[in-house]
Structure 1
Amino acid sequence: MIKIWNRTFEDMSNWAIEKVDIAESDYILDVGCGGGQTVYNLAKKAKKGQVSGIDISSEAVKSSIEKNKREIENGKVKIYEADVANLPFTSEYFDEITAIQTHIYWDDLKKGLSEIYRVLKIHGQLLIVCEKDKINYHMKSYKENDEMKQLLFEIGFKKITINESGNWIVFICDKD
């Protein structure tokens, strides 16, 4: 199933990532890395940086490690079993953070976003990417774009840009 998700969400992930500038030296975190396809694609862009992935599922972590074995051996990619609500990184560590089709499953959305904000560098960006119908189905709160924007502002993000394409949505959140 995890490998199927790699293929299913790759186009949506790439569409969203193209909306931001990723520097070759960026340190990037993919929250809910699943099978590791987004980590793999990000590592190609951040050639001189580092890409980390976290997932709460040990099976997803194994799959992501398998997908990124070569880059892990080179020290360019790191994969962790971790919960977004308790990230194992120092404050202001990452330039970019992605959350692809994952925030809808977090136990505590506000806590997860607060942890992301903590580990994101000043002038860094968070991309929350999801299918709109999945948001409507899985989320009890924050289904509407304005509700989600308000929560992101409360967390501390200063600028939030929303892009939509068909059933896809990305929130690009700037920390200034």
Structure 2
Amino acid sequence: MADKTPERLEWAAATLAPGPADHILEVGCGHGVLLSLLAERLTTGTITAIDRSDKMVAAARARNAGHIASGKIAIRQAELASADFSGKTFDRILAVNVNVFWLKPARELAALRRLIDAEGKLFLFFEPPSPAQAEPIAEKLAANLEANGFRVAHKTFIVLGSAQGVCIVANPA
């Protein structure tokens, strides 16, 4: 029996809505479930994924071996703030439940400013432990983004079972 895809990841894939030729960066790819969902939507586009955990990188690589072999996905162990992408930029950048963005993200957001295409979009998804935390987290995210070179395009809230999901979409300012 196949594992059920978490609702938050189905929502993230639908919200990101990548074009077939998009170049995507996922920060904190975990087990690589979302990578699989996104890769199915690409034809000539690619996904680069990073995670700071060797264990998560190994799991994501195992789950996405076919997409890696085809060249559609590349996964590496790296910290966002110090990762080297050799001048590459991305059309869409996303992160799901990566807490640094609502804490003290200056270094990480500076890295994303260098990595996002001038017309690119940044998607930050969260599923807070309590629905009551959704709005405060969204406000903190928006303030952090605005203070670090991004313009918030919109905030989306969604009920995910007994939880609430938050997505902040931002563009380079």
Shorter-chain TM band: 0.7 to 0.9
* Deviation, structure 1 residue 75: 1.1
RMSD (CA atoms): 2.6
Instruction: Return closer, same or farther for 1:106/1:163 CA change in 2, 3 Å cut-off.
Output: closer
| Cα distance in structure 2, aligned partners of 1:149 and 1:164 | 14
- 2:107 alignment counterpart: 111
Q: Distance in 1 between matches of 2:75 and 2:20?
A: 19
Give unpaired runs (5+ residues) of structure 1. 1-5
Which amino acid in the other structure matches residue 36 of structure 2?
A: Y
What is the aligned length? 166
The corresponding residue for 2:172 is 175
The CA deviation string for residues 37-96 of structure 1, in whole angstroms up to 9 with x for no partner, is 111111111221111110000000000100110111111110000011222214461111
Aligned twin of 2:45: 49
In structure 2, the residue matched to 1:86 is 82
Moved over 6 A (4+): 134-137
Q: TM-score, normalised by structure 2?
A: 0.84
Pair 1:27–1:161, CA change in 2 (3 A): same
CA contact (8 A) 2:138 2:166 kept: no
Which residue identity does 1:153 align to in structure 2?
A: E
Equivalent in the alignment of 1:146: 139
Distance in 1 of aligned mates of 2:132 and 2:9: 19
Local SS of the residue matching 1:45: coil
Give the direction of change, closer, same or farther, for the CA distance of 1:38–1:92 in structure 2 (3 Å limit). same
Return the TM-score normalized by structure 1: 0.82
Moved more, 73-82 or 112-121: 112-121
Percent identity (aligned): 23
